[in-house]
């Protein structure tokens, strides 16, 4: 039988000497703003992407200049909790080296855009000083581990946050390349148990006991949610963990595997897919189970064609039962039957909530996750001022929002006064529930894969949809609405009750009918709509929803009951 041909990225990883490649030379090369081609793959494992400013593409071409290269860097925040000092540092770096904005991502991480190659090292050193890192921000490894961003809401939330950081530490690459290249070999503060640090014993140096030399076949994602909120959209992940509690304490997890959302237009053999439930495990076994799933994917995932490398395709190929048995063989124990749980919503609770230890959390709506000073709304300044009083912490949510967490009763009025002064509270409270439940991926001008706008366009489209929503008295009805600039799924559009996926500039496919709680994907309703087409299609459906919905019926359920679309019951029938 002919030997299978490995994909190019596999060869690059194999030859990279544990992710070093020629990155040092690439960074030193002053003739171009770009990296050498192989290094553009390797730098992802260090958390960065080489990008170009797509707005300037034709202008630069006319001027016979190379594209305006810059780097995006993704900074991991396991479980999403950042300190005020970390927030202030990110804010500072955004101005000093970036484009003056921060992006809160759909996976509870920070992104900085527009960093010149020559400033990348200083940027990385800058956030490392405050115990943040970007290793495994991107690349064929386990990514930022998500969990409910309210650790102090209950004891269960606290325990879950702790486990998310343990999982993150367990699957952080061990190579010392990151520290060698960016930190001149300096380890970070070892007193911090959950931050990454190089393995300093000779034996451990550059061995990757979990990943091996070529890491995983593709990216890998883990998220945890605490019912009734599925605010991390766990079913979109390679591993989704549902926290199960007993008498107010965390008992264990229902474990789901094989979620992933990317697909390619015109290739129906690619499809978004939600994770399948494997069963329940006690909390003491959860790391072992995660490792068994991850290594099963490591050893069985497709390394020839990256379009089919994600765990979802491995499971489809192996069959769910065979996959489950292989995971059980690796752990040495069987899954128990999944325990009952109920998700009601995949959005974030906004406004004030009280924590189990007598403090307060404040959920803020951040449109598109972008922290920037708008001409009439100094959001970034407000959050900088707030961080400087050094109270509580800054929690990034999986819906691109922000929770100001763990505020004492004494400081609550101070926090409120600052946010009120800059209009941040009003910017959360005045919105329709539809807008509060919106997500848009970055798309243009930095994402090289975007076919259409998303983050820069969705707000103005929602202005128009809001008119319809208000006309029908639906301003308090939470409907998940999501937009991405391509079908890769970064804004988890397949889990939007209403979703737009960019096909070409100004044209979108419209998808309807996902479950409000993230347990069912949507389905294609109309193709290639421009704005007028979108509004014309949505107006009658929203009107019908206002008039004809049943008690407590969500928009996603309504459009299926009324036959606008068929329910998607599995990734394999998404395209039907």
Say whether residue 488 binds ligand SF4 (CB under 6 A).
Answer: yes
Minimum distance from CB of 356 to ligand SRM (Å)?
A: 27
Spot the catalytic one: 44, 107, 218, 219.
Answer: 219
Spot the catalytic one: 218, 380, 441, 520.
Answer: 441
Distance CA 259, CA 232 (A): 13
221 is catalytic: yes
Cα–Cα distances in Å, from 8 out to 18, 42, 303, 471, 542? 16, 12, 9, 54, 47
Distance CA 131, CA 529 (A): 45
Rounded to the nearest 10 degrees, the angle between the axes of helix 320-331 and helix 286-300 is: 120
Name which of 386 and 440 has its Cβ closer to ligand SF4. Answer: 440
| Nearest-CB residue for ligand SRM | 262
Spot the catalytic one: 221, 395, 492, 523.
Answer: 221
Distance CA 387, CA 409 (A): 17
Spot the catalytic one: 117, 486, 520, 523.
Answer: 486
**Residue 378 forms beta bridges with which residues?**
373
Site string for ligand SRM, 344-383 (x = CB under 6 A): -------------------------x--------------
Structure tokens at 513: 């009918």
Of 257, 252, 232, residue with least CA distance to 79: 232
Minimum distance from CB of 482 to ligand SRM (Å)?
A: 10
Name which of 94 and 441 has its Cβ closer to ligand SF4. Answer: 441
Name which of 106 and 554 has its Cβ closer to ligand SF4. Answer: 106
Distance CA 176, CA 456 (A): 38
Minimum distance from CB of 219 to ligand SF4 (Å)?
A: 12
**Residue 286 forms beta bridges with which residues?**
none
Contacting residue, 292, 450, 512, 514, with ligand SF4 by CB under 6 A:
450
Say whether residue 441 binds ligand SF4 (CB under 6 A).
Answer: yes
Taking CB under 6 A as the binding criterion, the range among 89-97, 173-181, 205-213, 443-451 that sits at the site for ligand SRM is 443-451
Tell me 217's DSSP state.
S
Scanning residues 78 to 117, which ones bind ligand SRM (CB under 6 A)? 105-107, 109, 111
Say whether residue 406 binds ligand SRM (CB under 6 A).
Answer: no
Spot the catalytic one: 490, 492, 520, 523.
Answer: 490
Q: Is 207 exposed, middle or buried (0-12, 13-18, 19+ CB in 10 A)?
A: middle
Name which of 213 and 456 has its Cβ closer to ligand SF4. Answer: 456
Alpha helix positions (H), 301-411: 311-318, 320-331, 379-388
Contacting residue, 102, 112, 210, 486, with ligand SF4 by CB under 6 A:
486
Q: What is the dihedral of CA 153, 158, 163, 166, to 10 degrees?
A: 120
Minimum distance from CB of 305 to ligand SRM (Å)?
A: 12
Cα–Cα distances in Å, from 378 out to 104, 152, 441? 17, 29, 22
Structure tokens at 494: 């397949």
Distance CA 411, CA 394 (A): 15
Minimum distance from CB of 193 to ligand SRM (Å)?
A: 22
User: Which residues participate in catalysis according to the annotation?
Assistant: 74, 143, 219, 221, 441, 447, 486, 490
């Amino acid at each position: 039988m002919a030997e299978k041909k490995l994909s190019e990225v596999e060869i690059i990883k194999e030859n990279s000497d544990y992710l070093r490649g020629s990155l040092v030379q690439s960074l030193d090369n002053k003739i171009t703003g770009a990296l050498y081609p192989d290094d553009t793959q390797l730098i992802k494992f260090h958390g960065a992407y080489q990008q170009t400013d797509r707005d300037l593409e034709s202008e630069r071409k006319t001027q016979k200049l190379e594209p305006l290269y810059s780097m995006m860097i993704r900074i991991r925040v396991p479980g999403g909790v950042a300190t005020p000092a970390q927030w202030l540092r990110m804010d500072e770096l955004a101005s000093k080296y970036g484009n003056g904005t921060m992006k809160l991502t759909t996976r509870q991480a920070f992104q900085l855009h527009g960093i010149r190659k020559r400033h990348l090292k200083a940027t990385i050193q800058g956030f490392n000083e405050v115990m943040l890192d970007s290793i495994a921000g991107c690349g064929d490894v386990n990514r930022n581990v998500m969990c409910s961003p309210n650790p102090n809401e209950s004891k269960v939330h606290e325990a879950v946050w702790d486990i998310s950081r343990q999982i993150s530490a367990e699957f952080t690459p061990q190579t010392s390349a990151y520290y060698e290249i960016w930190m001149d070999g300096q380890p970070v503060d070892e007193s911090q148990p959950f931050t990454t640090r190089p393995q300093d014993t000779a034996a451990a140096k550059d061995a990757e006991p979990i990943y091996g030399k070529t890491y995983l076949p593709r990216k890998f994602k883990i998220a945890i949610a605490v019912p009734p909120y599925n605010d991390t959209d766990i079913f979109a992940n390679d591993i989704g963990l549902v926290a199960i509690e007993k008498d107010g304490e965390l008992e264990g997890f229902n474990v789901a595997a094989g979620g992933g959302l990317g697909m390619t237009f015109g290739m129906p053999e690619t499809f978004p897919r939600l994770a399948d439930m494997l069963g329940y495990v006690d909390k003491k076994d959860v790391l072992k189970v995660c490792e068994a799933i991850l290594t099963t994917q490591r050893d069985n995932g497709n390394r020839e064609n990256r379009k089919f490398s994600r765990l979802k395709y491995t499971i489809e190929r192996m069959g769910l039962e065979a996959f489950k048995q292989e995971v059980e063989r690796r752990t040495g124990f069987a899954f128990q039957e999944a325990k009952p749980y109920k998700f009601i919503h995949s959005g974030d609770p906004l406004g004030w909530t009280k924590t189990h230890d007598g403090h307060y959390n404040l959920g803020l709506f951040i449109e598109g996750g972008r922290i920037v000073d708008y001409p009439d709304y100094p959001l970034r300044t407000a959050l900088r001022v707030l961080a400087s009083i050094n109270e509580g912490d800054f929690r990034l949510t999986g819906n691109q929002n922000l929770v100001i967490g763990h505020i004492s009763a004494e400081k609550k009025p101070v926090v409120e006064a600052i946010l009120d002064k800059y209009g941040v509270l009003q910017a959360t409270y005045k919105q329709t529930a539809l807008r509060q439940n919106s997500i848009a991926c970055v798309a243009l001008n930095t994402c090289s894969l975007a076919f259409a706008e998303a983050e820069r366009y969705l707000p103005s489209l929602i202005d128009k949809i809001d008119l319809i929503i208000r006309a029908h008295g639906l301003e308090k009805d939470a409907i998940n609405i999501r937009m991405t600039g391509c079908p890769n799924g970064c804004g988890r559009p397949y889990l939007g009750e209403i979703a737009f996926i960019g096909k070409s500039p100004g044209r979108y496919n419209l998808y309807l009918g996902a479950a409000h709680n993230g347990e069912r994907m949507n389905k294609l309703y109309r193709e290639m709509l421009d704005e007028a087409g979108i509004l014309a299609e949505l107006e009658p459906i929203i009107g019908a929803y206002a008039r004809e919905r049943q008690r407590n019926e969500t928009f996603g359920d309504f459009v299926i009951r009324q036959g606008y679309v068929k329910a998607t019951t599995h990734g394999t029938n998404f395209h039907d």
